[in-house]
Amino acid sequence: MGSVLVHIGYHKSGSGWLRRLFFSNPASGFGWVGKTSRDHPVRRLVGARPFEFDAAALRDEFAPRLRTIENKGLFPVVSFERFSGNPFSGGYDSKEIANRLAEVFPDARILVVIREQRSMIVSTYKQYVREGGALPPRNFIKPPTSKSMRVPWFDVRHLEYHHLISYYRQLFGADRVLALTYEQFVADPVAFVQEFARFAGRPLGDDAIRSLPFDQRSNPSPTAPAIEMRRWLNKLGVRSELNPSPLFTSPAVKRLAIKVQRTTLVPRPLVRRSEAKLRETVAATVGDRYIESNRISAELTGIDLAALGWLL
């Protein structure tokens, strides 16, 4: 199997833009292998039960897909933010997935994109509500705990990035793992993609840079007031895997909830106050717990995280 770039996420760090507008754009010089069907090998890298996972069979399935991309003169990319773990379940299987990737793509180059934790949690919480969650922010960040540990919940430790970066470096070698930040992507998307393109051995020319849609947003976030309205509707009548027991289940309430989360009718001053309150709640709940992890991450990546607004 030839060279491949494996982009592992994290969630809420520009993965949608990279996948849809960069890796799927032939002008970039890269080609995304996709993950269209439920039975796609990318999804089975994550979803196969431990005793059913078959690395050799998956390598055989990926091989023709990668060759098809290479035959077009493109560099193959396997991209799925779920590889870094799901934030709603605390990334409980992120190490298992890393081991699987090392078995299937032992010579891969790994791209991981991290994001300042307070900003990450705000964005993740909004996504949680959009997908049916009904907990208020504090309860989402600090969910119930039990000795039996029956169900994985959101876990603030999932965003101590140095653990996953260090482990991938152990599996693939430090020179084959590149960590960048979402803040770098926002500040200078051209420099951001140029850096990992060089890392993959496919530097971008001027023509490619001019043709890429750096001004497009892939997944705009709802406002805090819209999210709060959606949360109450979820609690009332929207059943989902994140909210299995609403007061009742109503398709009409679900349609209204989806419509509400898209509303732009809330006055701007209220939006600003609500956004500030949500961010203050997250910051107060998290406190300074990420400082030590961020110091280690800064050493591992060589990035001045403090200059990007991270707590160090």
Using alpha carbons, select from 131, 39, 37 the residue that is nearest to residue 88: 131
Is the pLDDT reported for residue 289 higher than 90? yes
Q: What does the mean pLDDT of the chain come to?
A: 93
Looking up residue 193, the CATH number of its domain turns out to be: 3.40.50.300
Which range marks the domain in which residue 212 is found? 5-117+158-218+289-308
Model pLDDT, residue 211:
86
Domain membership of residue 225 (yes or no) is no
Is the pLDDT reported for residue 164 higher than 70? yes
Domain membership of residue 140 (yes or no) is no
Domain membership of residue 297 (yes or no) is yes
Domain membership of residue 175 (yes or no) is yes
Query: 178-212, pLDDT tens digit by residue?
Result: 999 999 999 999 999 999 999 999 999 888 898 88
Domain membership of residue 252 (yes or no) is no
Give how many domains the chain has, as a whole number: 1
Residue 85: which residues within 8 A CB-CB, separation 6 or more? 91, 92, 93, 94, 97, 158, 164
Query: 106-135, pLDDT tens digit by residue?
Result: 999 999 999 999 999 999 999 999 999 999
Model pLDDT, residue 6:
98
Domain membership of residue 274 (yes or no) is no
Domain membership of residue 214 (yes or no) is yes
Domain membership of residue 302 (yes or no) is yes
